[in-house]
Structure 1
């Protein structure tokens, strides 16, 4: 039985449709269908059946998914034990991280690890927190960097360990000449007349901001759906919009932008998630040690945004 086909079946069971499984696996629906058909042929057993617009697993398919999860845990444990028997830290470590963390902390962490362990290959995948958790549970990444605003760290917590990395605070971003830019703090309700720029690549964070405004009694008027934070900052600096950003975004100065603390403060916890069977893997332990050291150093030196 091919491991990749088993994981495709598992993802189909989780998603419920060929299209959703294909999107999650970054494949085409026909490729997913072909892998399932090949797996069924190799076993001479039907594993799926049509049910309305979706796909349901047969009893044989359900049983195989359960065995697949056990197989993957055993493989994780085997890789970890073999890695501990090596004389150096080597191999590949896949990291899923959201952009603000990657810019502020992760890049320097990867550089330090590559210098210390030349045979360790670290592959960084930009993913939003919930996407990272999904990839972790599907064995498509080894570490998922998440936050508790965009992802629920309690879901399937029995399958992975969580390590606190940092605590972040949200700020209002204003043009430097905005009438409220010199305030020591701001409440969301004071911004009901403003136009907002939001990073549309993070739908969960955008929805969080929108709900924050709704709880304050207004629907945010969004005049810029941006595909990255660079555009958000440009819209704010130009005077066209305001926005909300995490403290990690303020590690580097933003020209033309003033960051004002939000009151009451909104904190987000940043955590590292990894599968429990990997907890003793030397590469994972080296990564955890270095990124925690880097996060502590970087956040301690974080400047106040005064530009």
Structure 2
């Protein structure tokens, strides 16, 4: 049986629709449908059945997914064994991470890694945590950097292993001529009359901001919804809006912006995620070692702390 077809069936068992499975696998829905049809023809039995707009696996489909999980884990372990026998960190490592940690820690880690292991090639993709976790499940990346704001612990598949990395706090960011500039901290209730600029890349982040403000007794006056950090921070610099952003963002590119601690604190836990196996492949183990070394060497952003 073709592994790509088994992966398509496995993703369909998680995603429930051809379109969602295709998005996670970065193929077209017709490619997923064709892969399932080819598996069914090969085995001579129905593996999925239509349920409204989605699909459900038949008993045969569910059993095949369970078997496929074991096969994929064994293949991952075999790759790790062979690489370990070579005693060389080589080949390609595929890493996915969200923007704030990618800029603060991952970029430097990749640079250090390829300098120490010149036979290793690293492919990096910027992805939000839910997207990178889906790519990990679909075998499109080898390491995903996730957080518990976007990916609650209960949402992680049994076949995925996680390693705590760092705890990050959220800070208030205002312009240098804002009344809060110069203050070490600000209460969320102090921000009820402010104009807010939000980075909309993460729905979970936006939901967290709105729920926190509502718990403090107000709805934030959102005057700007931005698709990235650059525009958000530009609006803050100009004094048009304020925002609450991760502490990792406070570690770079913040000229003309004042950062103060938010009270009460809002924290997130950042972790590495990779597929389970008997041992870590050498390239992943080397990445983890280098990332932890970089965290240990650098000044941790305000309120952040390494985990482990």
TM-score, normalised to structure 2, is: 0.92
| Aligned match of 1:275 | 275
Contact kept? 1:97, 1:129, Cα under 8 Å: yes
Distance 1:99 1:191 in 2: 26
Moved more, 97-106 or 199-208: 199-208
Question: Which aligned segments of 4 or more residues in structure 1 are displaced greater than 3 angstroms?
Answer: 154-158
2:221 aligned partner: 221
Equivalent positions of 1:242-261 (< 5 A) are 242-261=242-261
Please name the residue that 1:115 is paired with. Answer: 115
* 1:165-204 paired onto structure 2 within 5 Å: 165-204=165-204
Structure 2, gaps ≥5 residues long: 304-308
**1:94 is the counterpart of 2:94:** yes
Whole-angstrom CA distance in 2 between matches of 1:247 and 1:272: 18
Provide the C-alpha distance between the structure 1 equivalents of 2:55 and 2:162, rounded to a whole number of angstroms: 33
CA distance in 2, matches of 1:42, 1:154: 35
Aligned match of 2:127: 127
Query: Does the 8 Å contact 1:47/1:58 carry over to 2?
Result: yes
Separation in 1 of the partners of 2:112 and 2:177? 40
The answer to whether the 8 A contact 1:279-1:285 is kept is: no
Question: 1:249 offset after TM fit, Å?
Answer: 0.8
| Structure 1: gaps spanning 5 or more residues | none
Q: CA deviation at 1:208?
A: 1.3
Could you tell which deviates more after superposition, 36-45 or 280-289? 36-45
**Residue matched to 2:205:** 205
Distance 1:280 1:22, change over 3 A: closer
Instruction: Tell me the residue number matched to 1:42.
Output: 42
> Residue 298 of structure 2 aligns to a residue in which SS?
helix
Say whether residues 1:164 and 2:167 are aligned partners: no
Q: How many correspondences in the alignment?
A: 303
CA RMSD of aligned residues (A): 1.8
Determine whether 1:32 maps to 2:32.
yes
Q: Structure 1 residues 153-162 or 255-264, which shifts more? A: 153-162
CA distance in 2, matches of 1:53, 1:26: 20
Length-normalised TM-score, structure 1: 0.93
Contact persistence 2:185–2:260 (CA under 8 A): yes
Is the contact between residue 278 and residue 284 of structure 1 (CA under 8 Å) also seen in structure 2? no
